Structures are given as structure tokens and as C-alpha cells.
Structure 1
């Protein structure tokens, strides 16, 4: 059997468990915690939620976390972790630019650092990890900078954000040496955002005491491109800076079930279903590539991103998430097998007694759609479940691969290996 071990280094973990369920998360917004039971029911182990400075410190020097405690306590009761995004300015510390949330003064930086340190201390014994800011490389989440107000990812923005990180992280670590802190929150992984990231490295962000770089791998047509054109470049930059020890976390990514998918030749109904397949693929690929945890955007929305709509009605992507977590509950990743096609993904898992494979194929490079085909394996196939929890007929030692992942209960046969394609079709 030709097996490629899951990639990435070995390092201390931010989270206690190492299964898919432990390390996959979903973005919460205001009011979503009212139905945290649905997030738990879908199997997520992490929720991401903004922790807003101005909402915590309404009186100078006094910090009230009661509103966020409610979310943390609900998550803790369900064995879930909260990824808290420290975010926003505070008018108590001076003028806030109209239409901007950036912190660009020393008084503001020190005030934010004290708030972040208070959060680190307050949640020292709670299942909370932290991220500094949300997408500071974008104008709408930092500011339209006077140096170039019409452009994101400019050096001046990187300089300001790095100054904030260098003030905040030491304060958090002093308040709680065991606190886990990520920085970057880089929106989209492409040439210009990489330039922004390079500038933060030059300005010393990696030496601030952070534990991880957070990324939002938007912009890729399919999840499989995130490593080829994204994570691998981040790791190269970390290695070049002598910081291969830093982890990578994906704190936000999603695919809308709209023209982002339908423009590639899918109907709107197909797009709703394919969104579920993309969720499974994104989160399993992040797990394969050793990202510390991976957060799907988002839990609830009026647009097509959410797993549920504003009335808390379930969408196909919710069912897909629940299927993935049900099928892989208690299973740990062994590695990826090869078929001779780069676009085929066969991920092998075990719970110590049983083996399970998750199999799919992605679009080849320069193509918009995957090419369904059949492969033959020397595994004994015990059962197959599709992306939405339905049983699929077993056909000998063959598996039909498409862009929709299937969950395959298998039994190893001595000397068994994955064979080459038997048929293929467009």
C-alpha cells in the first residue's frame, strides 16, 4: 500500500483532541449561540466568535465579559472550544476614524493590549483560544489608509497591524503564559496578501510571541487549491524566517451556493448540494495539511453562506457537516493514499479497531469540474455512505469517485493497494 503520511510538522497542540470533530469549527455571529445545540448536533468542536473591545470595556479600565461568558459556558458544557477574535477600536481611547476600526495610536495599542491581557487572564482556565483581529489586510476591516485609500494589502497597513500585535501578545502572555494566540487573519492567499504578510514578517510580527498564523483561504475555486497555492507558500515564508515551529490555523473560509459555483456550469440546486461537498473537502484537507483547526463560514445567514438560514432551517451543507462528523467520530487520520491521479483524494482513518476511507476527486488544474471515474482497490469494502448520510450500494472492490466525498468502511488485505482507474467519463 502506498501511503503518503499527512503533512506538516509535529508541535504542541492548541486543542485537546486530534480527531476531525475536535478540530473543525463554524463561525458564529450575534444570536447564533441561541441554537448552539444545532452546531453541536452537526458535530463541530470549535466555534469562532468576535470578542469586541468596546463591548467589554465600556468604562475606562473596567472589563465586563459577562456577555461572552454566556457563549463560552454554553460551548464548554458541550465540550466545544471558542476561538475568540479580539477586534475593534474603543472611543474611550481617542478619536476613531469614520468608517474605520483600525488602532493606529500608541494609546489605542496599549488600551487594546490591556483588554486582550484581561481576556487572557479571565479565560485562563476555559476552552478559549485567541486571534488578533479579523482580516487586517483589508481596508474594510482595518482602514482606508491615507497612504493609498483605494487599496488593501499595503505596507502601511501591515506596519500598523504589526505594531498592534507586538504590543498585544507580550501582554497576553504575561497575563497567562499558556494562552494560545494567533495573528495574521490574512484574507485570501494570493500575491498581494502575501506581500502584506512579507511586510509583517519584516516588521517583526513572527517574533511577537504568537503561536500561530491565521489565514482565511478565500479566492480559490476549489478547496484543493488552498494548499497548492496557499498553505505551502505560508509555510515557505515561515521556514525562510526561521519560524517553521509556528502553526497555521484556518479561522474562516466558506463557499457561497451562488454564482461562485453556478458560474462553473452547475444549477442553483446543484450549487446548494455541492456546497456541502466543499465543506467536507475543505475541512478534511485542512486536517490533512496539519492546520491546527479549521472554521467554516458560516453557521447562519440570510445569504447562501450559512449552514442554516435565519429561521434556523437546515441546508444541505449542514447535513454534509453532520455526516462527516458522524462518520469520523473517534477516528484519527492515518494518511493519504495515491491512485496515480493528483486530483484523487483517498484519506485513510482509523479508530484503532476499524478503518474508514474518505474518497473523492477534484477538478484537474485548468478545469472547472471534476471528472468522475472508477478506481479498483484491494481493500475489502464493508459499506459506503455518501456526503449526505445515505447508504450507497457496494460494488466489489471498486469505488466511484466524484466531487462528492464518500465514506467507505474498509478492511485491509495483506499487500493491498489502490489500483488504477477502471473506467472514466466526463
Structure 2
């Protein structure tokens, strides 16, 4: 399935359709996940699970530059001749994604033994060669991939291959972005891609023109603290960006997760944290949020049997975090955008750390309000707090509530007097409860508050 916007163009009496990139939160979900390399033997099963979880974005390594270009100027995206990487077929992976309605968000990355000592490019030859690789990829997938990300975590020596250089990275992005746009003028290009919100690295990139080269800035805001602690960092980064461009450059969370081993949390706590992270991100106008990862990913050697980051276990069965992701994609399906609270939602008694975020699905007619507590750490034993939620609603409004972990509809006790509506004995949790508020266009038809 492809999500497209069609713009009619009349030329010599003929009608043509021009496809534009689907926008997260508008045409497709604002939430996705990083998934396996194209060579993974279980890729079909994993992508099936993504579809079942209603995930519509997949971030993944397209084909490592050094894997794809083994001979200068020759690119092999389907059968790279490289030991231990047989079966890396990018064509097949992208087709599998589209068959499941999942938007590809590939990373163009990593060094090549043919250039600059297999490191992040530092010479004109290396940058030109990487740009040629990007052009080859964008041209090959012009009709199937709109979104491209340039490198992964260039602020880390592990991925850059040498001491990180924001200046060299920016020079590389400029070359790569220009070549991608030569192949596909409609491409959407993401840069930055830092581990953490590395303001020093990123500001140097901005000073050297990165914001003029990209359409989106992505960051990986990993942390051991509560997900909402990122908000001040988002604000600080946006202030820095505003110093170097008058354009409104979107900020995306391109990779972020919580590990059931290294974060010392249960599978249920991971699910709670995922829901909070994603909802909070969208409330902060983070247009796309990518969870790391779909599959078990052993990073902490202390827990060799723990799926750790994964939405799936080692048998590819959904963990509670996948159920939370599915609920999120159902309750906050596109179109959706954050708005100021038009209902003046209040809580009595007030509980420390309570949050409300309101999102508009259809102007003046359909909203989703997420209510939760910013408790940290989170515990399985926490049973929530009983409160009264107050809000101002028109009489022709309906309210329904859904659990953020299971998606189950919750019973509500509703008392209304004029425009004031109270939800009594409402159990607020340390993860989002979704209120769906719909307002009838025909008040005389008498939609009853429930």
C-alpha cells in the first residue's frame, strides 16, 4: 500500500498525477520502529508483526556503502559480494515493506574500504564517491523511497570510524543531499542523526550550513531518566537552530528506546515508557518518533536471553510494548497534530506530575486527549490514582476512554451540568489513558455524553 497525495496537472489536454511524499501525522502514522537488516532470514515474520502492530514506518540500514560498492562506481543492492552478508537484498526488503503499508526510512551510512581508510569521508574523492552512492540509491528507489537519512550517529567514533568531525560531516551531507535531489527532487532528507542531543556537535554543523542542506533534523535522545525529561532539551536545540535559519526545520526522534536489561525495567514498564515517550514527543511537535527496535537486540551482555530493546521476543512473539505501540497507532492514527487544550481539562485532587496532551484529528469535531502521570521509575505494582477529571464540553459531545497499554475501552462515570463535564472515579495511571472526544455537527441530533 502506498500513501500518496495527488496533485492534478493539466498538460496538452492530458491529466497527470504527481505523487508527493506522505507526511508523518498527516498521511501516515507519526510513530515507527527501527527494524532488521535486509539479510535477516526472519525478515518476513518481523515485518508481518510490524503490520499487525499497525506500524507504518521502518528505519533500517539500506545497504552499507562498503557492502554495496565493492568496485569503484559499481553498486550492487541485491546480492553484495561480501563474506557473511549473503542475502542482503534491498529491493526485496523495500517491496516487503510496501506490501505491508510500511514507509521505508533508510539510512545511507558507514565507511568504504575503497575510500578514506574506511572512515567517515574526509577527502573530496571520498565525499564525491559517497555522493555517487547516494545518487545511485535515490535513483534506483525513486518511486519507492521518499525519505533518506545521511549516516548514523556521526558524533560517535564507533560509527564515524575516527574522531567525530561535525565540519567533515556537514561537508558530506551537503554533497550527499545535492546528489539525492538530483536523482529525486521530491526526496526528504534528514541529517544530524546524533547519539543523544549533542548540542555542541549539532551547533557546529548548523554554523557550517547543515540546515540549508536538509529538510529534517533527527536526533536519538536515549536516556535513563523519564521520557518527559527531554522537553527542555528539545526547546534548547530549537533555539540553537533558530540562530542559523529562518526556516522551520522539523525535528524528529529518529531512534530511541528503553532496554528491559540495562534500564532494569519489566516488560510492562517498557510498554508504559514507550507510550509515554511517543505521546510526549508528539505533544512537543516531534513529527516522527522511531522506537528502537522491533526485534530482540542484545546489547547488554549481562542479559543474553533478554530481548532487551525489542518489541518482539526471540520467538518473534509480541511483547507488551508491541501491544502499546498498536494501541498508540490505533488511537492516534493520522491525521493528528498537537493543539492547546480547548477543553480546560482539570484534575481533582491534583496529583504530582500529572500531564494532559490534546491532539486534533478533525478541526472542531474530533480530538484525542492523553492523560498520564510522570512517575519515575515505573513499577508493575502501581495501580493508579482515582480522581475527577473536569472539562468544558458542548452538549453534543461524546467521550470514550481507552487503556494505553491494551487498547481496551474503559467504563466512564460521567456527570454533566451545562458545559461542565466531570469524569468521576477516573483512574489516572503512570502511562497514557486516551480520551476520544467527538463533537456532532448536528446538535439537534442529540449525541449523548457517555
Q: For this structure pair, what is the TM-score category when the shorter chain's length is used for normalisation?
A: 0.7 to 0.9
- 2:429 matched to which residue of 1? 402
The answer on whether the counterparts of 2:29 and 2:329 sit within 8 Å (CA) in structure 1 is no
For 2:293 and 2:141, the matched residues in 1 are separated by: 24
| Paired positions, count | 372
TM-score by length of 1: 0.79
For 1:77 and 1:110, the matched residues in 2 are separated by: 34
Deviation at 1:373, TM superposition (A): 5.5
CA gap 1:201/1:19 in 2 versus in 1, 3 angstroms: closer
Which of 89, 102, 106 pairs up with 2:111?
Answer: 89
Structure scoring higher RCO (CA < 8 A, sep ≥ 6) equals 1
1:7-406 superposed matches below 5 A: 14-16=21-23, 18-19=25-26, 22-30=29-37, 31=40, 33-35=43-45, 36-51=47-62, 52-66=64-78, 67-93=89-115, 95-96=117-118, 101-145=119-163, 157-189=165-197, 193-207=198-212, 209-219=213-223, 221-228=225-232, 230-260=233-263, 262=264, 268=265, 271-302=266-297, 303-330=307-334, 332-333=336-337, 335-337=339-341, 339=345, 343-350=354-361, 354-363=366-375, 368=377, 372=385, 374-378=387-391, 382-386=399-403, 387-396=405-414, 397-398=423-424, 399-406=426-433
Deviation at 1:180, TM superposition (A): 1.1
Q: Indicate the SS of the match to 1:313.
A: coil
Q: Indicate the SS of the match to 1:278.
A: helix
The answer on whether the counterparts of 1:359 and 1:401 sit within 8 Å (CA) in structure 2 is yes
The answer on whether the counterparts of 1:206 and 1:243 sit within 8 Å (CA) in structure 2 is no
For 2:273 and 2:28, the matched residues in 1 are separated by: 17
Q: Which has more helix, going by share of residues?
A: 1
The answer on whether the counterparts of 1:333 and 1:349 sit within 8 Å (CA) in structure 2 is yes
The answer on whether the counterparts of 1:117 and 1:172 sit within 8 Å (CA) in structure 2 is yes
Deviation at 1:223, TM superposition (A): 1.9
TM-score by length of 2: 0.75
CA gap 1:216/1:14 in 2 versus in 1, 3 angstroms: farther
In structure 2, the gaps of 5 or more residues are: 1-19, 79-88, 298-306, 415-422, 442-450
Q: 1:261-280: CA deviations, max 9, x gaps?
A: x4xxxxx5xx3112112222
Q: 1:365-417: CA deviations, max 9, x gaps?
A: xx656984624224576432212123333233233222121122335599xxx
